[in-house]
Amino acid sequence: MSAPLRLGIAGLGTVGIGVVKIVQQHAALLEARCGRAIEISAICARDRSKNRSADISIYDWEDDPVALARRGDVDVLVELMGGPDGPAKAATEAALEAGKDVVTANKAMLAEHGQELAEAAEAGGRVLRFEAAVAGGIPVVKTLTEGLAGNALTRVMGVMNGTCNYILTRMESAGLPYETVFEEADQLGFLEADPQLDVGGIDAAHKLALLASIAFGTRVDFAAVELEGIDRISIDDIRHAADMGYRIKLLGVAQMTPHGLEQRMTPCLVPATSPLGQLEGATNMAVLEGDSVGRIVLRGAGAGEGPTASAVMADVIDIARGLRLPTFGQPAALLADTRAARANSPTPWYLRMTLHDEPGALAKVATALGESEVSINRMRQYGHDDTFAPVLIVTHKTTRSAIDRAITALGHTGVVAGPPVALAIEPV
């Protein structure tokens, strides 16, 4: 047997303790599978006195994660602190400078600094692995970098935030408004300290940017992701979508087009009978499309102690076995500069708006849409009162640019109360 692989774990929250438990409970199994033992040399967290669900008294303690990263008895820094900068980035940089490999679950750090960290790792002959940063226990990074390495990827899409999926499916199943389910999710501990990371789509967009880099050989470009959260989705939208055979999902889509790389994380309508449409609760799903393999669907737990710790350990085990791959599947120095393109593939759209109840209002709406080259497929007026008239429109296939022009034109009609809700009907 080879010498043990020695870990330094920075961050002892839910995932960090999950990693400790796996190392402690499956020591013999890990050694048999890797050909060497996996051990924990030292640990680091903000609160040493906190009561935790695993025995950590047997490990050396460091108050400073940078000092942990530089220890001579640490081969791999396992960074589980989170945050795009600060201690997480400093410890990662220190580990790489000291000749250590790094395993991280930190999607925000990689989405913002992934290129420079990958280049630093590869220049020093080290590896930087991040399976746990995307979709929890689903092995989507490994699938892209290894299983589908012989494919030219054509599209990557998925539901990548379990909290948003929980809120949307709970709204539909219980008939509850967004605000009520949001509070429920908060009470259950599903929301980040900053809820906009979840419901604003930021967390999921971080993940999409990382997957797009692997899939299309480009530098990570989180800033180019078109981003829209779920906070404007109403129970009426949920019900109308269901009546038409659709469900609403916060859907990430990345695809290379002749104009450049499209990346968008937005609420969309998907067929209720599709795998994405059938996804319930806090589960995640990644859909990968390659020119040779066709479509691959991966489904599983996107967060939580066990699933995310499982993904961390998958990276640790690869390192223990001697598998050393570039961070994003090919050398970071060879990744192409991203030429960002706005999503503009023709697709039907769902529009919901509230009109002032006055003569000719519908005619003005139809004229504004027609002059913007948006053709109406279906129109329905519902819940009419003496002041306002809610209207639902489904368009024929059109482009995002045409929809944007139409929304601007509708705002100039004087008959639309507030900005319309516009959701693409995504072909899946």
Catalytic residues, by residue number, are 207
Q: Compute and round to an integer the Cα radius of gyration of the chain.
A: 24
Phi, psi (rounded to 5 degrees) for 342? -75, 140
Distance from C-alpha of 148 to C-alpha of 212, rounded to nearest angstrom:
14
Interstrand relation of 101-104 and 76-79 (parallel, antiparallel or unpaired):
parallel
Residue partners of 12: CB distance under 8 A and separation at least 6: 20, 43, 44, 45, 50, 52, 56, 80
Distance from C-alpha of 209 to C-alpha of 189, rounded to nearest angstrom:
26
Phi, psi (rounded to 5 degrees) for 250? -80, 105
Distance from C-alpha of 221 to C-alpha of 359, rounded to nearest angstrom:
48
Q: Pick the closest to residue 394 from 356, 358, 353 (CA basis).
A: 353
Ramachandran assignment for 185, one of left (phi > 0), alpha (psi -120 to 50 degrees), beta (any other)? alpha
